[in-house]
Amino acid sequence: MQTLESFLLDGRAAELILLIVLFEFVILSLRYWRGSGAPPARWLSQLVAGAALVLALRLFQGGAPVAAMGMALAVGGIAHLLGYRQRWFA
C-alpha cells in the first residue's frame, strides 16, 4: 500500500494536478466556444501560471536540469504579470 507521503513526493500528485488543470482548460474552452463562458483573456493567464508552477515542481521531483525548472518558473512569472496587467489596467 502506498502512503500519502510517497504520492506527494514521487511526482504523481503534481501529475494529477496538471491533468486537472488540462481538464479545466478543456472545459473552460468548450464553454467559451459554445457562447456560455468567459473569454480566455479572463482565465488563461491564471491557468498557465498555475500549471507552470506545478510543472516546475514536477521537474524538480524528476531530477530535471535547473534550466528546465527555471524556464517553467519564468513562464509562470510572465503569466502572472500578464494577468495582473489585465486585471489592474483593463
Q: Domains of the chain: which residue ranges? A: 4-89
Give the separation between CA 44 and CA 46, rounded to whole angstroms.
Answer: 6
Q: What is the mean pLDDT of residues 1-24?
A: 91
Whether this prediction's pTM lies above 0.85 is answered by: yes
- CA torsion 22-23-29-30 (nearest 10°) is 150
Give the separation between CA 59 and CA 70, rounded to whole angstroms.
Answer: 10
The confidence band for 84, taking pLDDT boundaries of 50, 70 and 90, is confident
